[in-house]
Amino acid sequence: MSNRSAVLLVEDDAEIGELISRYLENNGMEVTRLADGAGLDAKLAGGTYDILILDLNLPGEDGFSICRRVRASHEIPIIIVTAQGEDVDKILGLEMGADDYVVKPFNSRELLARIRAVLRRAEPQARVAGAPSSQAFQFLGWQVNLLSREVVSPGGMKVAMTGAEFDLLHAFCENPNRVLTRDQLINMTHGPTAGPYERSIDVLISRLRQKLEKDPKNPAIIQTVRSEGYMLSAPVSRA
């Protein structure tokens, strides 16, 4: 993570946008603000940003559509901002490819903590002190490189993964053929900044299956163990 992370903030409420920008800038980040998604493509094409903070309730194109569109063409981490208590917004945001969500009204410290956590997850391990001794995993022809945070298919194709998806796959590779509960997966992938919302893990599992499984509706690699959790059902070797 760079010393001054570049944040692209899409927030139509001028007062909230100003408060977020000032707080993040006071904590060593550079913030570029937009009031809607109209100029977002030009910003992403013309600049280098480390993370996108995206409000869902926007004029014109809504945050869900923006999130889906950005995720289809960019690997930038995305944190969505959603209204308090609207669980459906959290689920849809994650399904569209967001890495995390923050619920309004939120504490600025929580937002900063989540931004830093997502940036850490997106950072290649090669740039992080204390990189793991096992630098890669292999299973069923798949290769998971912890240093570059790349996933390569049995056919040799690099498969794009968000930070949250990669961390979830990493957790399974560390614990093959072992049932992991939702709570365990939340702790392994999000740590102390995670909320208790278990449905987020279900959404991430679904996203991961779309990328790993031949038939995501009948998964053979990441299996559901009813009333218990999920399991990577494959032998895993370390490199």
**CATH label of the domain that carries residue 103:** 3.40.50.2300
Pair 98, 134 in one domain:
no
pLDDT of residue 3: 65
Number of domains in the chain: 2
Pair 220, 138 in one domain:
yes
Which domain range does residue 183 map to? 126-238
Pair 48, 74 in one domain:
yes
CA distance 69 to 96: 9
Q: Bridge-partner residues for 102, per DSSP?
A: 81
CA-to-CA dists, residue 7 to 47, 79, 180, angstroms: 11, 11, 34
In this model, does residue 129 exceed pLDDT 70? no
Tell me which of 32 and 192 has the higher pLDDT: 32
Q: Report pTM.
A: 0.71
* Amino acid residing at 139: F
pLDDT of residue 190: 67
CA distance 125 to 215: 31
Residues 3-57 have pLDDT tens digits of 689 999 999 999 999 999 999 999 999 999 999 999 898 999 888 899 999 998 8
Evaluate whether residue 1 is within a structural domain: no
Evaluate whether residue 154 is within a structural domain: yes
In this model, does residue 128 exceed pLDDT 50? no
Q: Please report which confidence band the pLDDT of residue 124 belongs to, taking 50, 70 and 90 as the band edges.
A: low
Distance of CA 229 to the CA centre of its chain: 20
Pair 148, 198 in one domain:
yes
Using the structure block, give the residue that is written with the tokens 């299973």: 139
Reduced 3-state DSSP string for 181-237: CHHHHHHHHHHHHCCCCCHHHHHHHHHHHHHHCCCCCCCCCEEEECCCEEEECCCCE
Which of 167, 173, 186, 165 has its CA nearest to residue 229? 186
In this model, does residue 230 exceed pLDDT 60? yes
Segment 66-78 mean pLDDT: 91
Evaluate whether residue 105 is within a structural domain: yes
* Span of 8-12, 94-98, 165-169 with lowest mean pLDDT: 94-98
Pair 10, 110 in one domain:
yes
CATH code of 186's domain: 1.10.10.10
Q: Which of 88, 123, 158 is the last residue before a domain boundary?
A: 123
Mean pLDDT rounded to a whole number for the chain:
86
> How many other C-beta atoms lie within 10 A of the C-beta of residue 205?
21
Pair 215, 106 in one domain:
no
Is the preceding peptide bond at 219 cis, omega within 30 degrees of 0? no
pLDDT of residue 197: 54
